[in-house]
Structure 1
Amino acid sequence: MREALIVWGGWSGHEPQECAHIIKGILQEEGFKVYLENTTEAFADPSIHDLSLIVPIMTMSKIEKEEAKNLAAAVENGVGIAGYHGGAGDAFRECVEYQFIIGGQWVAHPGNIIDYTVNVTRPD
């Protein structure tokens, strides 16, 4: 069975706990056994190397050097990593190693914060 780890926390404006539970449900529907953690200490656990997928939902958080090192090693050895909005791209701003894992870093909203319209064409 495929196993996934969702690590949530950080800025509450992105509703990390609620989002983690949404993603957990989606992954379970796809046949994953899902673990939820709300601390970056989970990234230091050697067992993450046995997972299929890691989903960080940690906007504007901090990560310890050893946690980032173990996470990087897991991804380098084939564990998937899934970005989730600012929970991935705006996490661990001070950790360059993490930015390389994700492939970038959030910098700012283009045009600052602007009003826009979303047209839902397929509500299902």
Structure 2
Amino acid sequence: MTDPIRKALVVRGGWEGHAPVEITGLFLPYLKDQGFTVEVSDSLDVYTDEVLLAGTDLIVQCWTMGAITPEQSRGLTAAVRAGTGFAGWHGGVLDAFRGDLDYTQLTGGQFLMHPPGFVDYTVDIVPGGHRITEGIGAFAVHTEHYWMATDPANEVLATSVFPAGGDRAHDVVMPQVWTRAHGAGRVFVSALGHKADDFDVREVRAITERGLLWASR
């Protein structure tokens, strides 16, 4: 007996600075290799297709900035609450649809700022043995360093440190990768992945791929 085919929906667009087509393209072969059929949408109107979303096991979103209509937002959040997984990285989920509180509650965080340019920092893995980070230790990256407002209910899997200085009187530990439940749906979010070569870092690629699978229904 063969396993049932899973369905993934990749929703991409918005600000081109995050290269939504190029970077989501890095993961299309992987999803297909994992047994997903993959549909790609360049329109947020897909979030109003209740039948399509009900039959989707995983939504991968890379849509920076932009606006989501109330109907689109309701469709997305209702689908995840009913069990469709939701996953994404960096500004494609964390700097999207500012002001839509239902969407922010879905993702569990929102981008606020980053220091100018690309910086070197270390991503630390939170102990606890989550399968997304199993066997992965601390690693270095050179990219944007996201400062975010995050939901304390998130299950944080990886963090980084913003060192004391300027307006910060002390070091600040900032979540960088987390999971959360939204109704019956699973949500995976990573702040890493501004540019395509960020995923050349073995650990970034592995965490992202594992996160996509974990979030799937």
Normalised by the length of structure 1, the TM-score is 0.89
Moved over 6 A (4+): none
Tell me the residue number matched to 1:70: 75
In the TM superposition, residue 72 of structure 1 has moved relative to its aligned partner by 0.4
- Listed one character per residue, the Cα deviations across residues 23-51 of structure 1 (whole Å, up to 9, x for unaligned) are 21221111100000001011111121211
Partner SS, residue 88 of structure 2:
coil
- Aligned pairs for 1:26-37 (under 5 A) are 26-37=30-41
- Aligned pairs for 1:33-44 (under 5 A) are 33-44=37-48
Match of 2:87 among 82, 92, 102: 82
Percent of paired sites with the same residue: 37
Q: Which 5+ residue runs of structure 1 have no aligned equivalent?
A: none
The structure with the larger Rg is 2
Note closer, same or farther for the CA distance 1:121–1:36 as it changes in structure 2 (3 Å cut).
closer
Question: With CA pairs under 8 Å and 6+ residues apart, which has the higher RCO, 1 or 2?
Answer: 1
Q: Which 5+ residue runs of structure 2 have no aligned equivalent?
A: 121-139, 143-199, 204-217
* Distance in 1 (alpha carbons) for counterparts of 2:26 and 2:40: 11
In the TM superposition, residue 114 of structure 1 has moved relative to its aligned partner by 4.8
Tell me the residue number matched to 1:10: 14
Note closer, same or farther for the CA distance 1:112–1:121 as it changes in structure 2 (3 Å cut).
closer
- Listed one character per residue, the Cα deviations across residues 34-80 of structure 1 (whole Å, up to 9, x for unaligned) are 00000101111112121100011001121110010011000001100
Report which of the two has the higher share of helix.
1
Normalised by the length of structure 2, the TM-score is 0.52
Note closer, same or farther for the CA distance 1:122–1:76 as it changes in structure 2 (3 Å cut).
closer
Aligned residues: 123
Would the aligned equivalents of 1:20 and 1:36 in 2 still touch at CA under 8 Å? no
Instruction: Compute the RMSD of aligned alpha carbons.
Output: 2.3
